Chain A
Amino acid sequence: MKLFGKVAVSALALGLVAGTASAQTTLRMTWYSDGNEGEVLRDLLDRFEEANPDIDVIVDNVAYQAGIIEGLPVQLAAGEGPDMARVTDLGGLAQYYLDMTPYLQDPIYWEDNFGPFLPWLRAPGDELAINGFMTQLSVTGPFVNKTLFEQAGVDLPGEGATWDDWAAAANEVASALEVPIPLAMDRSGHRFSGPAISMGAQYFDADGNPAVIDDGFRAMAERIVQWHQDGTMPLELWGSVSGSTYVGANEDFANAQVVMYMTGSWQISQFSDTIGDAFDWWAVPNPCGPGGCTGMPGGAALVALADTEHPEEVTRVMEYLASEEVLAEFYGRTLFVPGHLGLSRTGVEFDTDNPLAQHALETFSIGVATFSPVSFQLQGYPFNRVMFNAIISRLGQAIVGEMSLDEAYQRIEQDIEQQIAERTR
């Protein structure tokens, strides 16, 4: 009987140990993809899971607009969010982020390598939290269809060329070759803001409060309206939808229907796949104006979320993904501009033999140095989405003639004031 008792107790103990060893923590990550980054992430996570059998990461791939912009904020507000998420409204959702500092093995590594970008993720007043890292540092800038320029016998405008120079050149190419769209720009307040700052827009007053409408802003807004009226820009992008809806011209550009396309570095991977070497898609420096030759910085970050029941496990996953070796592979395979200072210094070996992609990556990386401080201030402002929304929706109305530009300026200021007041109640 004694023997039986010992055997029973041993079996029970073994069972408990085995049970503990096999207990798995399941973590959920909400993710969206512009190109192949979802596949690369899954590949990296598979390796992590192999080395860490106690953690299982489920990646919920969602559509950007429905899943990240519309769904995630409501999920987070309801306390039903995932453990980690890839976000673009970096500061807007800061109240929901987990400060991983107490769980990190080496917080200094994060400060050293992600330092300039960590404030973008922090809630106002917080100067210490470590919430996540940039899965990509994006920069806005134009691509041109260089093949069309060559066929039309038009030279690419050189260094220091203004927006007017580029618009004139794009129009020349379009009329010579009967290309329907000389110049396209993503329908986005973020995309508009780079050129506006180049024209001298300041966006903030001396105290750091929003002061969007000034001569620089007006100069770019007037050009945008004029370009829509004279056919330089197509009405289908900025004029065909309402509100702050994003519309891109990537498909039109890939189909060689666009001479010049103002978008950003995140298109490189997609253009490598969709265009390849069908024509020369050529990244060019941001056109210049009185305020400089600037685009807008931006990007997407992977953040840990405070509602998680497993902060330590989440931090382990984040530490793995943010490690230099893993990030180097991630940026290299996705063709993303690195948001890791160490990798920016040493360089990333991009997984492409396409010289067009390599040229684009180089152009955008160099271009960051020319960015105006205003663009970084705007990107780091927690209510920048309020400003971008107001700009795009009201300029859209002015473009189709629903209101004058002066009315649009007035509405932009009113919208920003009202929405910031609503959000800070």
Chain B
Amino acid sequence: MVDQTLDTPATLKSRAAEWAALPVRGVMRLLDWPMRLAQRIVGLGGMPYVFLLPNLIFFGTFVITPLIINFAFSLTGGPELFIEDRPFVGGEQYGFLFDCENALNVSTCREDRFWRGIYNTGTFVFFQVSLMILFSLITALVLNMKIRARGFFRSVFFFPVLLSPVVVALIWKWILLRDGLLNAFLTSIGLEKILFFVDPTWAMFWAVFVSIWAHMGFYTLIILAGLQAIPQDLYEAAQMDGTPRMRVFWRITLPLLWPNLLVVLVLSLIKGVQTFDEVYVLTGGGPGTATQFIVQYIYNTGFSNQVQNFGLAAAASMVLGTVLLVLTVIQLVVARRKGGI
């Protein structure tokens, strides 16, 4: 007797699926015993924590432990690298950072470079994040329309995201230098050369501009995905009602895009505060300290300066971490209230 069912495609498919499932079953059997044991020990209610354990171990090893070590470093002084060799100084490093006669005047602070870094970072983040979201939104709206070569333009806007930040900064540096491409163009049309990197306003402008140019594609993509997820029937209904375009944007597009915009806001804000490599290569933090951001201050203090001060750098990074934590909590609270993420 020959089993005729073997020849049907459905049976073959089912057999293949069974074969493919074999290794999974094997693994599940292997895990079954320890999982049952774990359930017996922690009970059914404790099982979610067992499943979270691997990630918690990873997070603990690579995030929490360094954080604790960093905090411990911030309570020590001296030039030694290993913490056991470093004298305990308590909150002295924090005291040094916060030693200001007038909190509103950076020049009165003992470590003015730290506060200049905070101030510069705040200025950069304000302009970079707001303009980045604005331009990403406009670009996404345009790229969502039925225009010619839409795929090409989407690629063009996304391309800078693929470049290394150092490459981005070097390209723009060559364009903006005294004898760079832009100054060559300016002189060719009879204008004077502009020394972009020796003027604080120009240097900050180009730091913001280059950062937006480099990262806008990524955020555009997130907003574009949000735009494409908005049901078309809402637009059709609005069209049938003769609703003006701007009203459609304010009443339909923007509210439904809110969760995506919030993601963009959170990501760009965190990324903005952490900005380092691009601006470091582009302006070196200058002129003076006009574009020296807080991460560069930490890097200079801990590593780049020929006199390395690990304790002070660790204290500054703890302050930065706290600021980021507060920002994240605020955003999460706002997001929950708005019913976003």
Q: Using a CB–CB distance below 8 Å, which chain A residues touch chain B?
A: 65, 69-70, 73-74, 77-78, 89, 92, 180, 235-236, 239-245, 247, 385-386, 388-389, 393, 396-397, 399-403, 407, 411, 414, 418-419, 422-423, 425
Is B68's CB within 8 Å of the partner chain A? no
Kindly report which residue of chain A lies nearest to residue B77, judged by CB atoms. A425
Kindly report which residue of chain B lies nearest to residue A228, judged by CB atoms. B198
Q: Using a CB–CB distance below 8 Å, which chain B residues touch chain A?
A: 77-82, 87, 89, 96, 107, 110, 112-113, 116, 178, 195, 197-198, 200, 283-292, 296, 300, 303-309, 311-312
4 closest residue pairs by CB, A with B: A241-B284, A242-B285, A77-B81, A400-B288
Kindly list chain A residues whose C-beta atoms are within 8 Å of the C-beta of B96. Answer: 418
Q: A235-B195, A235-B198 are in contact. Are A241 and B305 (CB under 8 A)?
A: no
Kindly list chain A residues whose C-beta atoms are within 8 Å of the C-beta of B296. Answer: 242
Measured CA separation A65–B290 after assembly (Å) = 22
User: How many pairs, one residue from A and one from B, have CB atoms within 8 Å of each other in the complex?
Assistant: 111
Nearest chain B CB to A316 CB, angstrom units: 30
Kindly list chain A residues whose C-beta atoms are within 8 Å of the C-beta of B308. Answer: 73-74
Pull 27 A–B residue pairs with CB atoms less than 8 Å apart, ordered by A: A70-B303, A70-B304, A73-B308, A74-B308, A77-B82, A78-B81, A92-B307, A180-B178, A236-B195, A239-B198, A240-B198, A240-B286, A240-B287, A241-B285, A241-B286, A242-B286, A242-B300, A243-B292, A244-B305, A244-B306, A386-B307, A389-B306, A401-B288, A419-B307, A422-B78, A423-B79, A423-B307
Kindly list chain A residues whose C-beta atoms are within 8 Å of the C-beta of B195. Answer: 235-236
Tell me if B78 and A400 are in contact (CB < 8 A).
no
Tell me if B305 and A400 are in contact (CB < 8 A).
no
Name the residue in A92, A385, A397, A414 with the highest tally of chain B Cβ atoms < 10 Å from its Cβ. A397
Tell me if B197 and A240 are in contact (CB < 8 A).
yes
Kindly list chain B residues whose C-beta atoms are within 8 Å of the C-beta of A244. Answer: 300, 305-306
Q: With contacts A389-B307, A396-B286, A400-B288 known, what are 10 further pairs, Cβ within 8 A? A: A74-B81, A235-B198, A239-B286, A240-B198, A240-B284, A242-B300, A243-B304, A400-B198, A402-B289, A422-B77
Kindly list chain A residues whose C-beta atoms are within 8 Å of the C-beta of B113. Answer: 243, 393
Q: A235-B195, A389-B306, A403-B107 are in contact. Are A242 and B81 (CB under 8 A)?
A: no
Kindly report which residue of chain A lies nearest to residue B79, judged by CB atoms. A423
Kindly list chain B residues whose C-beta atoms are within 8 Å of the C-beta of A69. Answer: 304, 306
Kindly report which residue of chain B lies nearest to residue A242, judged by CB atoms. B285
Q: Give the contacting residue for B289; candidates A78, A92, A242, A388; CB below 8 A.
A: A242
Kindly list chain B residues whose C-beta atoms are within 8 Å of the C-beta of A240. Answer: 197-198, 283-284, 286-287
Kindly list chain B residues whose C-beta atoms are within 8 Å of the C-beta of A235. Answer: 195, 198, 287
Name the residue in A241, A247, A388, A396 with the highest tally of chain B Cβ atoms < 10 Å from its Cβ. A241
Tell me if A389 and B178 are in contact (CB < 8 A).
no
Q: A92-B306, A243-B300 are in contact. Are A236 and B77 (CB under 8 A)?
A: no
Q: Give the contacting residue for A422; candidates B82, B197, B198, B309; CB below 8 A.
A: B309
Q: A92-B306, A236-B198 are in contact. Are A423 and B78 (CB under 8 A)?
A: yes
Measured CA separation A396–B112 after assembly (Å) = 14
Measured CA separation A117–B180 after assembly (Å) = 44
Nearest chain B CB to A404 CB, angstrom units: 10
Nearest chain A CB to B309 CB, angstrom units: 6
Measured CA separation A407–B113 after assembly (Å) = 14
Q: A240-B198, A243-B304, A389-B306 are in contact. Are A399 and B288 (CB under 8 A)?
A: yes
Tell me if A400 and B284 are in contact (CB < 8 A).
no
Q: Give the contacting residue for B285; candidates A77, A243, A418; CB below 8 A.
A: A243
Kindly list chain A residues whose C-beta atoms are within 8 Å of the C-beta of B303. Answer: 70, 74
Nearest chain A CB to B228 CB, angstrom units: 44
Tell me if B288 and A396 are in contact (CB < 8 A).
yes
Kindly list chain A residues whose C-beta atoms are within 8 Å of the C-beta of B309. Answer: 419, 422
Kindly list chain B residues whose C-beta atoms are within 8 Å of the C-beta of A236. Answer: 178, 195, 197-198
Kindly list chain A residues whose C-beta atoms are within 8 Å of the C-beta of B80. Answer: 77
Kindly report which residue of chain A lies nearest to residue B87, judged by CB atoms. A425
Kindly report which residue of chain B lies nearest to residue A76, judged by CB atoms. B81
Measured CA separation A240–B285 after assembly (Å) = 8
Measured CA separation A393–B81 after assembly (Å) = 25
Measured CA separation A73–B87 after assembly (Å) = 19
Kindly list chain A residues whose C-beta atoms are within 8 Å of the C-beta of B284. Answer: 240-242, 245, 247
Nearest chain B CB to A415 CB, angstrom units: 9
Tell me if A422 and B79 are in contact (CB < 8 A).
yes
Q: Give the contacting residue for B286; candidates A400, A418, A423; CB below 8 A.
A: A400
Q: Give the contacting residue for B292; candidates A78, A242, A386; CB below 8 A.
A: A242
Measured CA separation A399–B287 after assembly (Å) = 9
Kindly list chain B residues whose C-beta atoms are within 8 Å of the C-beta of A78. Answer: 81-82
Kindly report which residue of chain A lies nearest to residue B96, judged by CB atoms. A418
Q: A77-B80, A243-B300 are in contact. Are A385 and B198 (CB under 8 A)?
A: no
Kindly list chain B residues whose C-beta atoms are within 8 Å of the C-beta of A70. Answer: 303-304
Measured CA separation A423–B80 after assembly (Å) = 9
Tell me if B287 and A400 are in contact (CB < 8 A).
yes
Kindly list chain B residues whose C-beta atoms are within 8 Å of the C-beta of A243. Answer: 113, 285, 289, 292, 300, 304-305
Nearest chain B CB to A234 CB, angstrom units: 8
Tell me if A400 and B77 are in contact (CB < 8 A).
no
Kindly report which residue of chain A lies nearest to residue B304, judged by CB atoms. A70
Kindly report which residue of chain B lies nearest to residue A189, judged by CB atoms. B306
Kindly list chain B residues whose C-beta atoms are within 8 Å of the C-beta of A241. Answer: 283-287
Q: A180-B178, A423-B78, A423-B79 are in contact. Are A242 and B306 (CB under 8 A)?
A: no
Tell me if A89 and B306 are in contact (CB < 8 A).
yes
Name the residue in B107, B200, B305, B308 with the highest tally of chain A Cβ atoms < 10 Å from its Cβ. B305
Kindly report which residue of chain B lies nearest to residue A411, judged by CB atoms. B112
Kindly list chain B residues whose C-beta atoms are within 8 Å of the C-beta of A65. Answer: 304
Kindly report which residue of chain A lies nearest to residue B85, judged by CB atoms. A77
Nearest chain B CB to A259 CB, angstrom units: 16
Tell me if A400 and B79 are in contact (CB < 8 A).
no
Measured CA separation A78–B80 after assembly (Å) = 9
Kindly list chain A residues whose C-beta atoms are within 8 Å of the C-beta of B290. Answer: 242, 400, 402
Kindly list chain A residues whose C-beta atoms are within 8 Å of the C-beta of B200. Answer: 400
Measured CA separation A183–B304 after assembly (Å) = 28
Measured CA separation A192–B82 after assembly (Å) = 35
Name the residue in B78, B96, B198, B304 with the highest tally of chain A Cβ atoms < 10 Å from its Cβ. B198
Name the residue in B107, B283, B306 with the highest tally of chain A Cβ atoms < 10 Å from its Cβ. B306
Kindly list chain A residues whose C-beta atoms are within 8 Å of the C-beta of B300. Answer: 242-244
Q: Give the contacting residue for A239; candidates B87, B89, B287, B312; CB below 8 A.
A: B287
Measured CA separation A69–B291 after assembly (Å) = 23
